[in-house]
Amino acid sequence: MSVQLPSTPEPSRDASRPESGRTGIPSYWILVLVGGAMTGTFIVAPTVRRPERAPESTSSAPSSEKGRLGKRVVPKSENFTRDFHEAIRPDSRNAPTATSRTAGIAFSWGTESFSKKDYDRATAHFSTAIQFDPENAFAYQYRGIAWAKKKEYDRAIADYSEAIRLVPTDPKAYYNRGITWVFKNEYAKAIADLDVAIRLDPRDALAYFARGQAWYYLGRFHKAIADFSAAIRIRPRYPRAYYRRGLAYKGLGEFTKAIADLSEAIRLGPGQADTYFERGCARSAKREYDQAIADFNEAIRLDPRDTWAYFNRGIAWAAKKEYDKALADLDRAIGIDPRNTRALFNRATISFSTRRKGVNEDIRAVLDREDWRDPTSIYAVLLGYFAARRANQEPEGRSLLDQAQARCDHSAWPFPIVEYLRGALEETAVLSKADADEKKATAHCFLGLDRLQKGQADAAKAHFLWVKEHGEMGAFTIAVAELDRMTGQTDRAKAP
């Protein structure tokens, strides 16, 4: 009999979840490159996938001990489930010695129901088995797995804990409880249990993999890489370990290593849309846009409803100045998920850069959908303000700044730019508060727009050139479009 392990969608980067591997990224113009992980706006970064994904999980079969027999790591916010999908294959020689025929029959019915994914009946049958044989650690573990499948993680943990009390030397019980802590975002507890599982069974590649995911979601990418590497040493043909290690390298900004690992994951386990997606993100981060687009094409072929694949392909087209194709992909992303504020914002950015209609509508949609305390709203306010100024609608633009003053988080970046536009900060003060290149690109972009709309073309050009040399998507798109426009105007002025 083969029983499929519990699987749960990845916890949400959190797209967020730093996203898929994005930590410390402060901006919103983002090449959602959103498992995970997730967290910023004006840059090409590691992954905001569908917002990031849940832990990959495979529950592991319990070990036997004289008849008293007694996985996934986070933040479509999406899909870490594939990794731990290794079937439980109970060995009849290790089956529990039931204290009554009733317990044995109930246990058999439980495994049969589990194999049919009827987890309600499975938990009921395992409960009967436990009622008639309360020392059966094996039944507690299987019922814990069934609870986990139902996403009743507290009950699963209680059953794994009882299995550990009955058989404290079974590494699988610690492994399964560790995986469940991951689902609850309790990473320190997960690591503690997985430490024990590895100590009891140092050759368990899944335990190293699971602990690597916990370290990954804590943003401890070096430790995550060490554990994924250990899993690969034990099990060299382990595509999900290469995939996860690739994400960890991406989290460190080591995109060449990320691409190498993701390519190996594709070689060993072809046909996985998320692996092509993540490699596309890494390639975009290296500005290898043609190769990135090829990867997003394949991700879309494998998963035609993936809004983030369309989103990222659109951003890559924008980087190539293929704005019609970029807007078409963002339209598709929004068609699949009308509440995708990143797609709405970036569509507004491209429309603003190319002087097209629809900027105000998209900005209003972002502000209607986002919490004003989220930095996303600040970016939307700034873009909406400059769109209003360009359209000679100064009162509407001032109204947006006033709303930001009243409703936005003043400690969040890029609020200092709002203060500058309201006359409360000098330009030099804004730049001094930009403590990373992504923030500086945002500042130079909006300061350049301010100077340009004041008729100070030379000062504007200096700001835009800085963005062109150092910035990423969003700020980059706007700055390059303005520079192209300014250069075109100069060339026309010089023409005979």
pLDDT greater than 70 at residue 47: no
Residue 483: C-alpha distances to residues 446, 458, 462, 476 (Å): 14, 11, 10, 10
Asked if residue 358 belongs to a domain, the reply is: yes
- Cα–Cα nearest to 440, from 26, 24, 23, 22: 26
pLDDT greater than 80 at residue 10: no
Q: How confident is the model at residue 100 (pLDDT cuts 50, 70, 90)?
A: confident
- Decide: 125 and 110 in contact? Cβ < 8 Å: yes
Asked if residue 191 belongs to a domain, the reply is: no
Asked if residue 75 belongs to a domain, the reply is: no
Q: What is the mean pLDDT of residues 83-99?
A: 38
- Give the pLDDT of residue 70: 26
**Domain that includes residue 367, residue range:** 338-494
- Give the pLDDT of residue 99: 58
Cis amide bond preceding 55, omega within 30: no
Reading the block at residue 116, the tokens are 């049919």
Residue 380: C-alpha distances to residues 43, 406, 418 (Å): 15, 15, 11
Say how far apart CA 61 and CA 163 lie, in whole Å: 12
- Give the pLDDT of residue 231: 98
- Give the pLDDT of residue 37: 31
Task: Indicate the number of domains in the chain.
Answer: 1
In sequence order, which residues have a C-beta less than 8 Å from that of residue 97 and are 6 or more positions away? Answer: 67
Rg (the chain; Cα; Å): 26
Asked if residue 322 belongs to a domain, the reply is: no
- Give the pLDDT of residue 254: 97
Q: How confident is the model at residue 201 (pLDDT cuts 50, 70, 90)?
A: very high
* Among the ranges given (91-95, 111-115, 174-178, 416-420), the one the predictor scored with the smallest mean pLDDT: 91-95
> What is the tens place of the pLDDT at every residue in 182-199?
999 999 999 999 999 999
Q: How confident is the model at residue 488 (pLDDT cuts 50, 70, 90)?
A: confident
> What is the tens place of the pLDDT at every residue in 425-449?
999 999 999 999 889 999 999 999 9
Residue 289: HSE in the Cβ half-sphere, 13 Å Cα cutoff: 17
Asked if residue 196 belongs to a domain, the reply is: no
Higher pLDDT, 27 or 118: 118
Reading the block at residue 160, the tokens are 């794994």
Q: Say what angle helices 273-285 and 307-319 make with each other, to 10 degrees.
A: 20
Say how far apart CA 473 and CA 471 lie, in whole Å: 7
- Give the pLDDT of residue 487: 83
Chain centroid offset of residue 84 CA: 18
- Decide: 51 and 17 in contact? Cβ < 8 Å: yes
Asked if residue 374 belongs to a domain, the reply is: yes
Q: What CATH number is attached to the domain comprising 447?
A: 1.25.40.10
pLDDT greater than 90 at residue 127: yes
Q: How confident is the model at residue 477 (pLDDT cuts 50, 70, 90)?
A: confident
Cβ atoms within 10 Å, residue 490:
12
Asked if residue 404 belongs to a domain, the reply is: yes
> What is the tens place of the pLDDT at every residue in 229-245?
999 999 999 999 999 99
Asked if residue 116 belongs to a domain, the reply is: no
Q: What is the mean pLDDT of residues 272-297?
A: 97
> What is the tens place of the pLDDT at every residue in 131-186?
999 999 999 999 999 999 999 999 999 999 999 999 999 999 999 999 999 999 99
Say how far apart CA 458 and CA 134 lie, in whole Å: 81
Residue type, 398: R
Q: Say what angle helices 239-251 and 273-285 make with each other, to 10 degrees.
A: 30
- 101-111 burial: b if 16+ Cβ within 10 Å, else e: eebbebbebbb
For the chain, what is the mean pLDDT? 83
- Decide: 52 and 185 in contact? Cβ < 8 Å: no
Say how far apart CA 106 and CA 126 lie, in whole Å: 6
Say how far apart CA 253 and CA 247 lie, in whole Å: 10
pLDDT greater than 70 at residue 77: no
Say how far apart CA 314 and CA 185 lie, in whole Å: 32
Residue 384: C-alpha distances to residues 339, 342, 357 (Å): 18, 15, 12
Q: What is the 3-state secondary structure (H, E, C) of the chain?
A: CCECCCCCCECCCCCCCCECCCCCCCCCCEECCCCCECCCCCEECCCCCCCCCECCCCCCCCCCCCCCCCCCCCCCCCCCCCCCCCCECCCHHHCCCCCCHHHHHHHHHHHHHHHCCCHHHHHHHHHHHHHHCCCCHHHHHHHHHHHHHCCCHHHHHHHHHHHHHHCCCCHHHHHHHHHHHHHCCCHHHHHHHHHHHHHHCCCCHHHHHHHHHHHHHCCCHHHHHHHHHHHHHHCCCCHHHHHHHHHHHHHCCCHHHHHHHHHHHHHHCCCCHHHHHHHHHHHHHCCCHHHHHHHHHHHHHHCCCCHHHHHHHHHHHHHCCCHHHHHHHHHHHHHHCCCCHHHHHHHHHHHHHCCCCCHHHHHHHHHHHCCCCCHHHHHHHHHHHHHHHHCCCHHHHHHHHHHHHHHCCCCCCCHHHHHHHCCCCCHHHHHHHCCCHHHHHHHHHHHHHHHHHCCCHHHHHHHHHHHHHHCCCCHHHHHHHHHHHHHHHHHHHHCC
- Give the pLDDT of residue 4: 30
- Give the pLDDT of residue 82: 36
Torsion angle, alpha carbons of 171, 172, 177, 179, to 10: 110
Torsion angle, alpha carbons of 344, 347, 348, 352, to 10: 180
pLDDT greater than 50 at residue 66: no
Say how far apart CA 75 and CA 213 lie, in whole Å: 10
pLDDT greater than 60 at residue 491: no
Say how far apart CA 323 and CA 345 lie, in whole Å: 15
Chain centroid offset of residue 191 CA: 21
